[in-house]
Structure 1
């Protein structure tokens, strides 16, 4: 398997050094040190336009099966246009089918979250919690609500899919938790793994590594600036994790 070329990362070394001086003020997405990338003069969408978009999505939610069967292109186009932020969590749950699984299993998540699990599994999960988005306000504090919700989601997922669980589920679960509570986040994670990437998290993670290498090579070829930014982010994250160990 091809290895990634980090030889041109000298230009981003300063970003790595700055990791220890991260701002304590979160940006609008909850990440520390990112406010400088949000323009003050950012164009705002009029409130009445936002409300019209939300009303369209609420109408789709109330007739979801009909829209998916008869008006799929409209759903697709509205997704590409952007799900209103106030309804994004609900939209993700409908798009992957998690809302139906939650309705059919209303108490399953809490029961599995409280059930005893293999102590070694729980220990492995806890070792990975602090590595997930360490610069996001939800996951900064050890034992905080973000890390504890992440632990519960990963623990339940590991119990439901013991042959497929791996630490690569953690970043995906963390992103879901940025948008919704733990229970729907779990059902979204399960739906995504079952429907869209079956076998993707098998032992060895070969498919993930191949896709990662393809992404790096494509970015380096078509957008060197994006490639350097991604390299900078990876190095900064690794540096931050190393400092926290």
Structure 2
């Protein structure tokens, strides 16, 4: 790799920053305390009192229910979608979150129907323009998370691979900086190939047009949010209108990063569970809840009498409004549906055409959630089949064809038990275990580094 600029998040070739194995694995030198989400500090670190602590017995019951759903995903989606939605609202078990997101988004089907596609893109050098921009962005993504803290570590390497692959998959769209935190959240829960396909689904189905040049789609959604706010909180709407505070000024990062850079981490995960199940209406609801909570009464508006004060208030949402329990309950209770969003979308689109002319970027229609995605592209049973399993062979008996061994004994013959297929327990193994010969830097453009990372097919240890 060519020498990199100092401070861009990458270790230059020949640097002494190779460090120990934990450091290469995304760890932080000095053994800083790490919370249960992998953060070593920063605003999103888990403090303990703000997140719901689920009893272990309840968690195991939820895992068993989700495993049942994953084993017959198409039937649950077709006949028991309401129950699935309720379980997403309760929160997906951490041990299964990566796999559930893969299924909810339809990325599992895309991956199965495009075997080898990610490897093909991964092996290509990429457009030097996008490669350079992506490399400069790597160190900015969750620098307090152990996976992305080390320069040139496996977290940053896989983030580079996923983002570069997307620019090759959609060369007309290229790379947008807001895609990086989305991909980073996914990599915290799944291997690079799976993260790539979930990113593709989010960009193409959930948030189409968000990452295209001109940001027309996000501007349209800003106007939709503003119009919905008039119904949800007239007080907040009047205040923003009075001070001519355009939605694009405060909601861009919220929506484009799906609140991954705004909320405490426990709330981020709960919002994403619902977002990937129910679609973009969840993102709208979160935005509306925050605006209503911060600006929804005359008493609250006393602290922000002008545009500047209002912007500062919205940049620093009060912690009590972002807590997991409060936010999730408010999201569930807020009556904003797909129909409301689509109706307002058409109204804002007509207004846009009158004032700006036709949209320059023709993005595909937005699909509202997991059920709609599956209905639009019905999968085959083979596409939904779960691959991972561990075959345990008895070390005591020689095996013959068919998995049954005849064990000769002095007093006769006894049949050995057949080999067992055991489903691994619902804990996620670390997909970024240190390689035997780690390298501290990314290889410029080709980046075949991090091949030691978990492959979703060959080394999948997920349930």
Superposition TM-score, scaled by structure 2 size = 0.42
Of the three residues 91, 97, 122, the one matched with 1:113 is: 122
- Shift, 1:41, TM fit: 11
Of the three residues 175, 181, 206, the one matched with 2:185 is: 175
The aligned residue for residue 55 of structure 2 is: 45
Cα distance in 2 for partners of 1:199, 1:221 equals 29
- Residues 202 and 87 from structure 1, CA distance in 2 versus in 1: closer, same or farther, beyond 3 angstroms? same
Cα distance in 1 for partners of 2:102, 2:212 equals 24
Q: How big is each residue's C-alpha offset from its partner over 1:150-198, in whole Å with a ceiling of 9 and x where there is no partner?
A: 0000000111012223121111001111111111000000011111111
- Shift, 1:138, TM fit: 1.0
Of the three residues 220, 223, 226, the one matched with 2:294 is: 220
- Residues 120 and 43 from structure 1, CA distance in 2 versus in 1: closer, same or farther, beyond 3 angstroms? closer
The aligned residue for residue 35 of structure 2 is: 27
- Residues 75 and 119 from structure 1, CA distance in 2 versus in 1: closer, same or farther, beyond 3 angstroms? same
Cα distance in 2 for partners of 1:43, 1:112 equals 41
**1:142 to 2:216 alignment:** no
- Shift, 1:53, TM fit: 1.2
CA contact (8 A) 2:98 2:189 kept: yes
- Shift, 1:100, TM fit: 0.7
Q: Root-mean-square deviation (CA), in Å? A: 2.8
Quick check: 128-137 or 90-99, which moved more?
Answer: 128-137
The aligned residue for residue 62 of structure 1 is: 71
The aligned residue for residue 74 of structure 1 is: 83
CA contact (8 A) 2:209 2:215 kept: no
CA contact (8 A) 1:129 1:147 kept: yes
The alignment covers a number of residue pairs equal to: 209
The aligned residue for residue 212 of structure 2 is: 202
SS in 1 for 2:155: helix
**1:128 to 2:137 alignment:** yes
Cα distance in 2 for partners of 1:227, 1:45 equals 34
The aligned residue for residue 102 of structure 2 is: 93
The aligned residue for residue 238 of structure 1 is: none
- Say which one has the larger Rg: 2
Cα distance in 2 for partners of 1:42, 1:221 equals 26
- Residues 163 and 222 from structure 1, CA distance in 2 versus in 1: closer, same or farther, beyond 3 angstroms? farther
Cα distance in 1 for partners of 2:46, 2:83 equals 36
Of the three residues 103, 123, 131, the one matched with 2:112 is: 103
Q: How big is each residue's C-alpha offset from its partner over 1:56-79, in whole Å with a ceiling of 9 and x where there is no partner?
A: 111111111111111110111111
- Residues 201 and 60 from structure 1, CA distance in 2 versus in 1: closer, same or farther, beyond 3 angstroms? same
Superposition TM-score, scaled by structure 1 size = 0.76
Cα distance in 1 for partners of 2:51, 2:105 equals 35
Quick check: 193-202 or 220-229, which moved more?
Answer: 220-229
- Shift, 1:36, TM fit: 6.8
- Shift, 1:40, TM fit: 11
SS in 1 for 2:36: coil
CA contact (8 A) 1:219 1:227 kept: no
- In structure 2, the gaps of 5 or more residues are 1-30, 223-246, 252-286, 304-312, 320-463
SS in 2 for 1:87: helix
Greater helix share, structure number: 1
CA contact (8 A) 2:208 2:217 kept: no
Cα distance in 2 for partners of 1:202, 1:36 equals 33
Quick check: 73-82 or 50-59, which moved more?
Answer: 50-59
- Shift, 1:208, TM fit: 3.7
Cα distance in 2 for partners of 1:228, 1:116 equals 38
- Residues 178 and 222 from structure 1, CA distance in 2 versus in 1: closer, same or farther, beyond 3 angstroms? farther
